[in-house]
């Protein structure tokens, strides 16, 4: 008997968590948070009821709650080396910013590190009657989909995945196995992404137009993956302007450069970083801004981070640009800016004069690639749709039922299904 217990990321983006229960063991697939004040955790899972945890990738909506399992227990967790290193950086930063609201501290993060098991793609792990391995998910450096075998049943957990290659990641491939159940993300189940080459060209054109008019472009981007991808795109198009990279870039960079599995082409990547000015502190930030043509800074949704400082300096100048390049969760500063053109500057809601644009550089599969992926799966698996806004989860589950004639469910938090 195998059961899937959906603990989080149900009908929403944030706090992914699924518990796989077999006769002998319980394997927890991720335990993320929904960032915010306070951060929101998935349903409660007792640490002593868990035999091990797998983290698909480092984003906090997949990894941020894992330290909870180290308050009184020491459970092994499994991830690629890059995921473990990046998770450490991101969770540390979350504790720094939110410690008042969190039920754990640096101590739990340290204990978690003692229990880490780095696994490469394709490396089999056996935990009592459950076997699992990771496959490249193409989402961010180190990201993996989890392939699970238990009691003769085969389960695929996609975490976040992308079937289109990007400048820094290889694409996720369609697995050849027959599955009994698939748990899939649906961030962009209702949305097609533009063709990447054209998007990159338009992006460069718009940046140059602003620079040529004496303006600066702020690119709010998440510190892991997205900012480095933006730098790689500028490099690939031989952008010659002065580029600032802010945030946890340096620490993240070290991980990427020290782990050949983390980025697709390490040499090109390190070349792309060579001409970039990495911010070293507040004084440097103020000085470097004067020279900058392009500033890449977190957070990607304009929810805190040093992008707020740059917004204050640039948003009211009509010669400047603010180019959003990530998914903007409804309610975030970035989403509100796109909808209303307004942004709080020095605690006052202001009309932003800079050119605001959204470039759809996604690291998630879009509508057609998601459908092609599901269509290509062998074995007519039951499909469980998570990690999307309410309508996206329901839309993809319905599509599975109508188009593929398979079981398609968008589970609610707390629901349990037998495979
Ligand atoms: Zn992600
Ligand atoms: Zn995610």
Which CATH number belongs to the domain containing residue 403 in this structure?
Answer: 3.60.15.10
Phi-psi label, residue 272: left if phi above 0, alpha if psi -120 to 50, beta otherwise? alpha
User: Is 240 in the same domain as 330?
Assistant: yes
Provide the token pair at 151. Answer: 């009691």
Q: Which of 309, 336, 358 is the last residue of a domain?
A: 358
Token pair belonging to 41: 């955790």
Distance 347 CA to ligand 1 centre (A): 30
**What is the 2 CA–ligand 1 centroid distance (Å)?**
26
Give yes or no: residues 99 and 122 share one domain: yes
> Are residues 17 and 148 both part of a single domain?
yes
For ligand 1, a single-atom ion, the residues with CB < 5 A are 59, 160
Whole-angstrom Cα Rg for the chain: 21
Domain of residue 49 covers 3-191+363-418
Task: Please say whether the dihedral angle defined by the alpha carbons of residues 379, 380, 386 and 388, taken in this order, is positive or negative.
Answer: positive
pLDDT at 398: 98
Residues 18 and 140 in one domain: yes
User: What is the per-residue pLDDT for 331?
Assistant: 86
Residue 13 alpha carbon to ligand 2 centre in Å? 6
Contact yes or no for 221/331 (Cβ under 8 A)? no
Judged on CB neighbours under 10 Å (0-12, 13-18, 19+), 134 is: buried
Give residue 58 CA to ligand 1 midpoint distance, Å: 7
- Note the pLDDT of residue 310: 97
Tell me the C-alpha distance between 394 and 389, whole Å. 9
138/11 same-domain check: yes
Query: Looking at residue 367, what is its pLDDT?
Result: 98
Rounded to the nearest angstrom, the distance between the alpha carbon of 57 and the centre of ligand 1 is: 7
Residuewise pLDDT in 10s, the chain (419 residues):
899 999 999 999 999 999 999 999 999 999 999 877 788 999 999 999 999 999 999 999 999 999 999 999 999 999 999 999 999 999 999 999 888 899 999 999 999 999 999 999 999 999 999 999 999 999 999 999 999 999 999 999 999 999 999 999 999 999 999 999 999 999 999 999 999 999 999 999 999 999 999 999 999 998 788 898 999 999 999 999 999 999 887 788 888 888 877 888 888 888 999 889 999 899 999 999 999 999 999 989 998 889 999 999 999 999 999 999 988 888 889 999 999 999 999 999 999 999 999 999 989 999 999 999 999 999 999 999 999 999 999 999 999 999 999 999 999 999 999 99
- The total of structural domains in the chain comes to 2
Distance 118 CA to ligand 2 centre (A): 21
Which residue do the tokens 């057609």 mark?
A: 368
Q: Looking at residue 256, what is its pLDDT?
A: 86
Cα of 238 to ligand 2 centre, how many Å?
31
Task: Clarify whether residues 388 and 401 are in a common domain.
Answer: yes
Domain boundary, last residue among 358, 377, 396: 358
Nearest Cα neighbor of 357 from 334, 331, 333, 332 is 334
Q: Length of the chain in residues, anyone?
A: 419
Last residue of a domain, one of 358, 377, 410: 358
Q: Are 108 and 114 a contacting pair, CB within 8 Å?
A: no
- With CA atoms as reference, report the closest residue to 190 among 331, 350, 5, 393: 393
Claim to verify: residue 172 and residue 221 sit in the same structural domain: no
Give the number of the ligand closest to the Cα of residue 161: 1
pLDDT of residue 38: 83
The alpha carbon of 56 and the centre of ligand 2 are apart by a number of angstroms equal to 10
> Which CATH number goes with the domain that contains 346?
3.40.50.10890
Cα 65–Cα 69–Cα 74 angle in degrees, nearest 5: 145
What strands, in cross-sheet order, belong to the sheet with 294-297? 277-278, 243-245, 294-297, 217-220, 321-324, 355-358
Could you count the other beta carbons within 10 Å of the beta carbon of residue 7? 25
Instruction: For residues 161 and 265, state if they share a domain.
Output: no
Of 300, 289, 297, 292, the residue nearest 358 (C-alpha): 300
Q: What tokens appear for 250 in the block? A: 């340096």
What residues have CB less than 8 Å from 194, skipping those under 6 apart?
Answer: 360
What distance in angstroms lies between residue 12's CA and the mean position of ligand 2's atoms? 10
Structure tokens at 61: 């909506």
**371 & 322 share domain:** no
pLDDT at 207 (0 to 100):
98
CA 59–ligand 2 middle distance (angstroms)? 6
Measure 252 CA to ligand 2 centroid, in angstroms: 18
Task: State the ligand closest to the CA atom of 35.
Answer: 2
Distance 348 CA to ligand 1 centre (A): 32
Q: Are residues 273 and 348 in the same domain?
A: yes
User: 43 with 68: CB under 8 angstroms?
Assistant: no
Please work out, in degrees rounded to the nearest 5, the angle formed at the alpha carbon of residue 15 by the alpha carbons of 13 and 18. 105
User: Residue 388 CA: which ligand is closest?
Assistant: 2
Residue 33 shares a structural domain with residue 150: yes
**SS3 letters across the chain:** CCEEEEEECCCCCCCCEEEEECCCCEEEECCCCECCCCCECCCCCCHHHCCEEECCCCCHHHHCCHHHHHCCCCCCEEECHHHHHHHHHHHHHHHHHHHHHCCCCHHHHHHHHHCEEECCCCCCEEECCEEEEEEECCCCCCCEEEEEEECCEEEEECCCCCCCCCCCCCCCCCCCCECCEEEEECCCCCCCCCCHHHHHHHHHHHHHHHHHCCCCEEEECCCCCHHHHHHHHHHHCCCCCCEEECCCHHHHHHHHHHCCCCCCCHHHHHHHHHCCEECCCHHHHHHHHHHCCEEEECCCCCCCCCHHHHHHHHCCCCCCEEEECCCCCCCCHHHHHHHHCEEEECCEEEECCCEEEECCCCCCCCHHHHHHHHHHCECCCEEEEECCCHHHHHHHHHHHHHHHCCCEECCCCCCEEEC
Same domain, 217 and 344: yes
């Amino acid at each position: 008997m195998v059961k899937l217990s959906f603990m989080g990321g149900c009908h929403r983006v944030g706090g992914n968590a699924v518990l796989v229960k077999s006769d002998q063991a319980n394997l927890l697939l991720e335990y993320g948070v929904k960032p915010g004040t306070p951060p929101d955790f998935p349903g409660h899972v007792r640490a002593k009821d868990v035999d091990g945890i797998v983290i698909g990738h480092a984003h906090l909506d997949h990894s941020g709650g894992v330290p909870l399992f180290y308050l009184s227990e020491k459970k092994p967790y499994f991830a690629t080396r890059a995921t473990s290193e990046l998770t450490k950086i991101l969770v540390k930063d979350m504790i720094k910013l939110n410690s008042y609201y969190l039920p754990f501290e640096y101590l739990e993060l340290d204990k978690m590190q003692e229990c880490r098991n780095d696994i490469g793609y394709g490396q089999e792990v056996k935990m009592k009657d459950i076997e699992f391995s990771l496959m490249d998910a193409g989402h961010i450096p180190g990201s993996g989909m989890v392939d699970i075998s238990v009691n003769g049943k085969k389960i695929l957990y996609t975490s976040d995945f992308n079937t289109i290659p990007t400048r820094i990641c290889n694409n996720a491939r369609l697995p050849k196995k027959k599955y009994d159940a698939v748990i899939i993300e649906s961030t962009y189940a209702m949305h097609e992404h533009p063709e990447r080459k054209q998007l990159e060209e338009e992006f460069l054109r718009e940046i140059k137009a602003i620079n040529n008019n004496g303006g600066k472009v702020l690119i709010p981007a998440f510190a892991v993956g997205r900012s480095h991808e933006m730098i790689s795109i500028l490099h690939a198009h031989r952008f010659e302007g002065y580029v600032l990279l802010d945030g946890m870039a340096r620490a993240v960079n070290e991980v990427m450069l020290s782990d050949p599995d983390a980025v697709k082409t390490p040499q090109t990547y390190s070349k792309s970083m060579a001409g970039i000015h990495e911010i070293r502190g507040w004084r440097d930030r103020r000085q470097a801004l004067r020279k900058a043509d392009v500033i890449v800074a977190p957070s990607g949704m304009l929810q805190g981070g040093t992008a707020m400082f740059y917004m204050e300096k640039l948003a009211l100048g009509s010669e400047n640009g603010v180019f959003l390049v990530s998914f903007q969760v409804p309610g975030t500063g970035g989403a509100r800016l796109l909808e209303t053109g307004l942004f709080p500057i020095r605690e006052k809601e202001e009309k932003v004069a800079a050119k605001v644009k959204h470039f759809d550089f996604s690291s998630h599969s879009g509508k057609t690639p998601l459908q092609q992926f599901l269509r290509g799966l062998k074995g007519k698996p039951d499909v469980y749709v998570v990690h999307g806004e309410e309508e996206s989860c329901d839309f993809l589950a319905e599509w599975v039922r109508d188009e593929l004639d398979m079981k398609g469910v968008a589970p609610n938090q707390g629901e349990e299904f037998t495979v």
